[in-house]
A and B are shown apart, each in its own frame.
Chain A
Amino acid sequence: MTAFITRRILQTLAVIVVLSYVFYYLMSLMPGDPVDMMVASNPKITAEDVARLKSLYGLDQPTYKRYLNWVASMSQGDLGYSRTYRVPVQELMGPRLWNTFLLSFISLTLSIAIAVPLGVISALRPGSRTDYFMNLFSFAGISIPSFWLAIVLIILFAVKFPLLPAGGTQTIGGEPLGFWADLMDRSFYLVLPVLSLSIQQIGRFSRFTRSAMLEAMRNDFIRTARAKGLSRRVVIWQHGFRNALIPLITILALSFSGLFSGAILTETVFAYQGVGKLVYDSIIGNDYNVAMISLVISVSMVLLMNLVADILYGFADPRISYQ
């Protein structure tokens, strides 16, 4: 197991290095570097200004040299400087990553907690009224565009019935009221974005759970377990659900890999201060340092969660070995 994990971590590091260079190179191919964009918006920038800024930003260097410089600063713990916001990247991204993590983690946990039992119930009564109702709910959840749902939620709960804030991360400008009051305040602002994200995820996860569970419950060993006189609870959870876990682990691990990537639509509509829009803007604005850090985080999370999924497969199904 230790050798397997070590090997996978080394592979992960190699993939991160390769992908980061590919991404850096692709970004450099995009038309218009930060100085070109500055020239387009300020008619008074002269040819001398252009040459000076390109040299200052290192844009007159070949891509591989710029990439190596970036790697060198990264290895010294310097994540660089955002040329769009004019602040060090760690200061810019730190709070936003935490906000995104909170939003994604809460909505994902809530979705799993609701969707998995719903999917199991639905699978145990295929074709029943409960199953039809849950299918309807799931399909509605999957089909409704999240930004539309977000706007409807704002109109309903912030404009029509002003119970919740229309957007933001926390109350602005108020005096600190203590830990619990601040926690309540943050939670208040999370309700609508979490709801908007969760409804779609619940639909998706409950469909996956239902189909995995249906498949598992059709197996011969389920019939055998029942014939042995095992209780319904044991048959469902120990034999059925455990076998349904393999596909679920894959889906859930991939979903957890997006914990730090941000939900750009939801964050934008709710003016939630997460990384989603920041990453989008940094790619569009050629803010290399911000874009590269977000890429590294995103790739690392995907690879890490895949590793976690591989380890969990072994726990769910003892036939899987790590030789």
Chain B
Amino acid sequence: MLNKLSKGLLLVTSLSFATPALAAPSNAELKIGISQEFETMNPLIMTMSASAYMYRMIGRSLVVLTPEGKWVAQLAKEIPSLEKGTAKIIEEGGKKKISATWEIVENAKWGDGKPVICQDFITSHKIATSPTVSVGEKEQWTQVEKIEIDAKNPKKCTFKYEKAKWDFYQLAQFFPVPTHLEQAVFDKYSKQKEGYEKNSNYVRNPTNPGLYNGPYVISEVKLGSHVAFTPNPHFYGKQPNIKKIIVKLIPNTGTLEANLRSGTIDMISVLGLDFDQALAFEKKTKAENLPYVVHFVPSVTYEHIDLKLDNPILKDVRVRKALLYSINREDLVKALFENKQQVAIHNVSPKDPWYTADPKIITLYRYSKREAGKLLDEAGWKMGADGYRSKDGKKLSLIFQTTAGNKTRELVQVYLQNQWKQAGIEVLVKNEPARVFFGDTMSKRKFEGMALFAWVSSPENSPRSTVYSKAIPNSSNGWSGQNFHGWSNPAVDKDLEALDLEFNAAKRADLVHNILKAYTAEVPVLPLFYRSDISVTPKNLKNYKMAGHQFYETNNVEDWNLN
């Protein structure tokens, strides 16, 4: 509410003033504004996006995904593979497993000069799999059964994986922690519930440079306010150009622009402006020739509408198809987003190697009121004198829910509501605060008809959690899984199970295309658009590359240059 009001008022008020010119930032210091809260940056337990954004400046992992969507080695010398013989499928107790050899780059060091060694991965694995440490997603750690260090080289080790999965090398969240600092803390507090995380050096002494192995170390941190970074002299890669980076939290997105224009911050990160604010600011930047660039980069975030398949109306696939035919998504992204966000045709984004738009594989739904009408007539929903369709005396009426207060989503709702009205479908909006919507209505599958929200994903990510029949949340599985729509297709389940174990890239793509074929034919979900990531940078910032996925642009912060 505050954001909405302040955004409007800020816009009106700021139009009345001309602003004095500010000096361009230099490599001496860069101040970045974010609007999302961050937590303690212990890589084993952090969950917030803002922490992940900052952690990429101070910590590196074995591998990472580039903005182009390619997995590359980072702390590792190379990515192990079956082809090169650095990984092999083994069999133990009748179960197929993988054994892969990882070698850490020679000069990888912690900020205190101690080398990054395999033991640091063993320590993080030991801590993260401990029952007293509150790591959210355990599987990323338990997928590795054992790590064995080469007797001759402490930087070389063999990871034994509990399952033979093709994506075994995607260990981007498998961060090491410095054994020489964290082992003692864990040994002392490992028996207390959450004892390690409360007493870790990341909490007690976060400015200890030995905790970080990235291009920067933390020189100052105040939760809820800011984090200051200075170059890590022991970084294994090239030394960063910028001598000091400050990430400053400005929780009110309505004042981010004022902070930028007053020089309090020099740029706005991807975790900053709302889409409508960015569009307005881009126009202002051009009109007033301001020294900023507003970046819009397509991301893998998939905005869509889940259909509750248990709903008697939505059980009929003809109704679901009619809902999709009757909305003009091209016009929607043009009218509301000035074509800066892409229309979605399914849940795999164009940035993903698995993407396909081939009409021989998937069903495409171009806007067609006639087709929608035909399908609804076939399904028995006849147009009445009141402009709405009905069957057996019952009106074709659906509840449409999303997160209350999200301006973009509420605009999309109004737009779609109007289009469905033209097709004779009554749509009643019943929005809820995000806390209730995600914490109860969706997670416990209490929504009644349609639910508008987004999935954040990454390229080549199995859609298992959102389309697998065992991922339908219910009381017996502790309401886990995110197949909220309740889609169950045995062929899709089979393909999903095969996908995890398929080492041939072409065959994997075929399996995903089979899933997409069923997904677009049965329409359990109405795809809307893929969101764009937004940031604002000073004009003189070079080598800044936004990723559009969860491995943020800070991953190449050492290349940024303000000269």
Contact = CB atoms under 8 A, between A and B. Distances in A.
Contact of A173 (B47, B219, B262): B219
A200 to B, nearest CB: 15
Given A166-B255, A173-B246, A31 B262 contact: no
Nearest to A269: B252
Nearest to A30: B435
A23 to B, nearest CB: 17
Contact of A278 (B131, B224, B248, B264): B224
Contacts of A30: 435, 439
Contacts of A57: 134
A159 B14 contact: yes
A49 B17 contact: no
Given A31-B435, A47-B480, A88-B198, A38 B136 contact: yes
B5 A86 contact: no
A86 to B, nearest CB: 4
B140 to A, nearest CB: 7
A228 interface: no
B246 A96 contact: no
A44 to B, nearest CB: 5
B20 A49 contact: no
A88 B259 CA distance: 31
B547 interface: no
Interface in A15-53: 30-33, 36-53
B194 interface: yes
Nearest to A275: B224
A41 B455 CA distance: 9
Contact of A43 (B220, B264, B455): B455
Given A49-B138, A85-B223, A39 B480 contact: yes
Given A151-B13, A154-B255, A158-B264, A52 B138 contact: yes
Contacts of A269: 2, 6, 252, 254-255
B224 A81 contact: no
Given A151-B255, A269-B6, A172 B228 contact: yes
A30 to B, nearest CB: 7
A167 interface: yes
A172 B226 contact: yes
Contacts of A145: 5
Contacts of A165: 262, 264
Given A47-B477, A148-B5, A87 B251 contact: no
Contact of B250 (A46, A148, A271): A271
A37 B45 CA distance: 15
Interface stretch (B36-44, B145-153, B179-187, B554-562): B36-44
Contacts of A168: 225-226, 248, 264
B480 A162 contact: no
B261 A159 contact: yes
B258 interface: yes
Interface string B123-134: 000000001101
Contacts of B264: 158, 165-168
A81 B439 contact: no
Nearest to A156: B17
Interface residues of B, number: 73
Contacts of A83: 134
Interface string B395-430: 000000000000000000000000000000000000
B2 A284 contact: no
Contacts of B262: 154, 158-159, 162, 165-166
Given A43-B455, A147-B2, A87 B478 contact: no
Contacts of A56: 131-132, 134, 193-194
A86 B46 contact: yes
Interface string B10-21: 100110011110
A86 B29 CA distance: 29
Given A46-B139, A151-B255, A81 B198 contact: yes
A86 B40 contact: yes
B249 interface: yes
Given A45-B136, A49-B136, A173-B219, A277 B438 contact: no
B137 A45 contact: yes
A67 to B, nearest CB: 17
B551 to A, nearest CB: 16
B438 A173 contact: no
Nearest to A44: B137
Given A31-B440, A168-B248, A85 B39 contact: yes
B251 A268 contact: yes
B194 A48 contact: no
B216 to A, nearest CB: 13
Contacts of B6: 147-148, 151, 269
A134 B136 CA distance: 58
Interface string A269-281: 1110100011001
A299 B439 CA distance: 28
Contacts of B20: 160, 162
Contacts of B455: 43
B203 interface: yes
A147 B441 CA distance: 32
A158 B258 contact: yes
B255 A38 contact: no
Given A172-B248, A269-B252, 10 more contacts: A37-B439, A50-B478, A83-B134, A85-B37, A95-B222, A151-B6, A158-B259, A172-B31, A173-B219, A271-B259
Interface of B: 2, 5-6, 9-10, 13-14, 17-20, 29, 31, 37, 39-40, 42, 45-47, 131-132, 134, 136-140, 193-194, 197-198, 203, 219-220, 222-226, 228, 244, 246, 248-252, 254-255, 258-259, 261-264, 435-436, 438-443, 455, 465-466, 477-482
Interface of A: 30-33, 36-54, 56-57, 81, 83-88, 91-92, 95-96, 145, 147-148, 151-152, 154-155, 158-160, 162, 165-169, 172-173, 265, 268-271, 273, 277-278, 281, 284
8 contacts: A41-B47, A44-B137, A45-B137, A83-B134, A151-B6, A151-B254, A151-B258, A154-B262
